[in-house]
Structure 1
Amino acid sequence: MVSGFAKLRNPLRIIGALLLTLVLTACQIGGGPVGLGTGPRVSGQTVEVAMLLPMSGGGGDAVLSRSLENAARLAAADVAGSATINITVYDTAGNASTAASRAQEAVSNGADVIVGPLRSDAAAAVGVAVANSNVAVLSFSNNTEIAGGNVLVLGYTFANTANRIVGYAARQGRSSIVLVHANNLAGEVARDAVRTAAARNGARIAATIPYEFSQVGVVNVVPQVTAAANAGANAVLLTSDSAGALPLFAQLLPENGLNTSAVQMMGLTRWDIPPATLEFSGLQGGWFTMPDTNAAANFNGRYAASYGGAPHALGGLGYDAIQAVAQTAGNGRLGASDFASAGQFNGAGGAFRFLNDGTNQRALSVAQIVNQQVSVIDPAPRRLGGAGF
């Protein structure tokens, strides 16, 4: 048994690279806004878009904001033949109250739709601030707790990812799952998403193992995870990401008796960001989801050609927002319910659509780590079937 993280084999180079990755922490639960579903008529085919971004925010907010704006302008150029999209950026400074004030200012200036803000607390505040205007808010958050009324979420949600990975696993016979999650808000949201996905897809949660979000907390549950997996389960699903507990589980579980050749490792987050994650021996053969690789490669190439560098990992959400605005505007209205009824959009990461509850469904690929490389084993569908979930 490993007694502490000091005994990890040379983790500093890989973990150091992981911590350089900018992560959007969108699970800041706030009260849901209220609002009506149908928005104002759009004048002709010209749409005034107010884009709320933390341009002067701390950390990596400015870098991400610039990538989101660039991607939005790339989409506006793409749809120029069918709609004229005028984008005005409003700086929220990463503050929820400032975001609410800027949203009211934008509506007063004639905005037809609001794109952003970045995080869920700001998006919830904006939704309340402009509820009486019937202007839809396309938030970049992935926090489904704020969805509804006039607020939609564009981010990749746990519910969508869980349904894809658990559904695929069940079809492959990996339907007895040990679920491992942090004992915090984000972990509990992820846990609930996996449980719902399991019920929907005929899988069984053999054990649910929470852990305190700390180094000691991870070390303490490793024997429990191994024991549960060896007791008859055939899959382990880790909800943590590369900037959290994932690297530690990836090393400690095999070292403490988990046979990852017999038990399928699965993840609820991107295991290819940053690429150093692919080097962990405990993740070899593991499954995770990612956007449509063909669509993403096309977007990344066009972004680099236009702006001279790669977009932020979340930058494509800016492109998706404008694609959705352009298609919905063609129907003459831009209320939240109009986005949900507009059908499928083709975004930077493939097909997606809004659901009636303000959340989204995205077409995702299932990928496997093979020899420290990403191999797509079940490509993303080109079209989303049924009525969503």
Structure 2
Amino acid sequence: MFTVLPRLRKARLSLAALASTALLAACDPALVGGLGGAPAGADGPAIEAGAPVPVALLVPKSDGGAGPVASSLENAARLAISELDGVEIDLRVYDTGGQAAQAASVAQSAVDDGAKIILGPLFSEAANAAGAAVSDEGVNVLSFSNTTAIAGGNVFILGPTFANTANRLMAHARAQGKQRIVVVYSNDVPGQFGKIAIEQAATVNGIQVLSSEAYELSVAGVSDTAKRAAAAVQSGAADSIFITTDATNAAMPMLLQQLPENGVSPSQVQYAGLTRWDVRPDLFALPGAQGAWFALPDRARQASFDQRYTATFGAAPHPLAGLAYDGISAIGLLAKRGNADALSGKSLTSAGFTGSGGVFRLLKDGTNQRALAIATIQNNQMVILDPAPSSLSGTGF
């Protein structure tokens, strides 16, 4: 029988957690700075070898906007459980309502009910609050967020980060002999932190950032920045231009049209994008898209996951559903080893896992690394230049 802990002693902690969440971005996917290397991972409650592992899944089931995402996440978690071999997961689902206060409350309830680890929540504020609520009991949280500001302590993030993508792209650029880049970014939170990720990855890979040019989201703002970026490319003899803009953003087609018009020829300067351009194939015919690089998960593994999910549930998964599958896969692999400390921070960061989109691992700072492929655009079609590696050893990570 599991001990039910008193709720009163959590009051101050919960209030502190709620106050701290006000400092974070309102929702994902704002990828912001981390905790300065603060180690992640609580010791974790012991599990019993051979017994079902109690796992709490925290999702925003009653959130009107995120409810369908919550359903897809739960389905993906159950799919992963059905595919585990030699280990049983006792999945218990809790509704966060998409709210930080409710996430903290149900996280505590889950631990009182015997949960050994928490999978979720979805939003950064909710994940931060949930982690704070159960941190004194040593329970780790595998959040679906990609907001690196909340990573650390007992909170891990499963969502893909700008830093991971930037490092993969920059390592590829270095391998192709690129030495000098110009960065174009949107003057907002995602753009600014995308810029930082690119600049940091460039430094690590010995590539010089000649200039970083911001734009305001307007016709005049994008046009002016395209001119400045082109001038920076030409004056500094840059060999590459990195764009942080999300492919779905209205600025992207303008940049891919106007940068070449201002003299940044794709035949002479390598274009690269920090986000996935394959989600918008209409970009492929634009001048700046020709030969451009961007990163994406292992296509074969992603397609296999999508097919299995669709066959099981009769509809395609939400793009975020794979994160729940990944979390259960990691928990299952570690629990199968039969160690009492399988869900400790040390164990979580000691192994690599195979997920819905390829291999990944959790890092000691609470963030993650994912194996990515490098794609390009040729003849208006996406082509894989460098496949996603099958392991994360010796891949520049």
Give the TM-score taking structure 1 as reference length.
0.87
1:103 to 101, 107, 118: 107
Structure 2 alignment gaps of length 5 or more: 1-26
Contact 1:30–1:120 under 8 Å retained in 2: no
1:123 to 123, 127, 133: 127
Q: Residues 379 and 388 (structure 1 numbering): CA distance in 2 closer, same or farther, change over 3 Å?
A: closer
Q: Residues 233 and 275 (structure 1 numbering): CA distance in 2 closer, same or farther, change over 3 Å?
A: same
The Cα of 1:388 is off from its aligned counterpart by: 8.1
Q: Is it true that 1:70 corresponds to 2:75 in the alignment?
A: yes
The Cα of 1:56 is off from its aligned counterpart by: 2.2
Q: Take 1:39 and 1:284, find their aligned partners in 2: how far apart are those partners?
A: 49
Provide the residue aligned with 2:292 in structure 1: 286
Q: Is it true that 1:43 corresponds to 2:45 in the alignment?
A: no
Provide the residue aligned with 1:336 in structure 2: 345
Provide the residue aligned with 1:56 in structure 2: 62
The 5-angstrom pairing of residues 290-305 of structure 1 reads 290-305=296-311
Aligned AA (1:238): I
Q: Is it true that 1:218 corresponds to 2:215 in the alignment?
A: no
Aligned AA (2:366): G
> Cα deviation per residue 1:327-372 (whole Å; 9 max; x = unaligned)?
122333212332012x110001111011111111111100001222
Provide the residue aligned with 2:324 in structure 1: 318
Q: Take 1:36 and 1:163, find their aligned partners in 2: how far apart are those partners?
A: 24
Provide the residue aligned with 2:273 in structure 1: 267
Q: Residues 388 and 369 (structure 1 numbering): CA distance in 2 closer, same or farther, change over 3 Å?
A: closer
The Cα of 1:297 is off from its aligned counterpart by: 1.7
Provide the residue aligned with 1:136 in structure 2: 140
Q: Residues 48 and 30 (structure 1 numbering): CA distance in 2 closer, same or farther, change over 3 Å?
A: farther
Aligned AA (1:226): A
Q: Take 2:40 and 2:212, find their aligned partners in 1: how far apart are those partners?
A: 37
Q: Take 2:345 and 2:256, find their aligned partners in 1: how far apart are those partners?
A: 41
Contact 2:40–2:156 under 8 Å retained in 1: no
Q: Is it true that 1:242 corresponds to 2:247 in the alignment?
A: yes
The Cα of 1:237 is off from its aligned counterpart by: 0.4
> Cα deviation per residue 1:115-136 (whole Å; 9 max; x = unaligned)?
1111212111111111111111
Aligned AA (1:191): K
The Cα of 1:165 is off from its aligned counterpart by: 0.3
Provide the residue aligned with 1:14 in structure 2: none
Q: Is it true that 1:145 corresponds to 2:149 in the alignment?
A: yes
Aligned AA (2:354): N
Contact 1:355–1:388 under 8 Å retained in 2: no
Q: Residues 128 and 388 (structure 1 numbering): CA distance in 2 closer, same or farther, change over 3 Å?
A: farther
Q: Take 2:31 and 2:241, find their aligned partners in 1: how far apart are those partners?
A: 26
State the identity as a percent: 46
Question: RMSD of the alignment, in Å?
Answer: 2.2
Q: Residues 44 and 63 (structure 1 numbering): CA distance in 2 closer, same or farther, change over 3 Å?
A: same
The Cα of 1:105 is off from its aligned counterpart by: 1.2
Q: Is it true that 1:368 corresponds to 2:391 in the alignment?
A: no
> Cα deviation per residue 1:130-153 (whole Å; 9 max; x = unaligned)?
111111100111111211110001
Aligned AA (1:154): L
Contact 2:389–2:395 under 8 Å retained in 1: no
Give the TM-score taking structure 2 as reference length.
0.86
